[in-house]
Structure 1
Amino acid sequence: MYFSSGPAELSEIPEDYEPEEYEYHEHPITRFIVRHMTTDYQENYEKMCAKIALETEKMEWRQKQKMVNYLMQERGDGLYYYIPMTPTEVIDYSPKSDPDQ
Structure 2
Amino acid sequence: MDIKLIKAPGENTLRIISERSRYKIEENPGAIGLVQGKLIEMIGACDIAEKSVGVEVFDVRGSCPQNFVLLAIVGDMEEVKVALENIKAGGDVKKW
- TM-score above 0.5: no
TM-score scaled to structure 1, two decimals?
0.20
Q: Between Structure 1 and Structure 2, which shows a larger proportion of strand residues?
A: 2
TM-score scaled to structure 2, two decimals?
0.21
Q: Between Structure 1 and Structure 2, which shows a larger proportion of helix residues?
A: 1
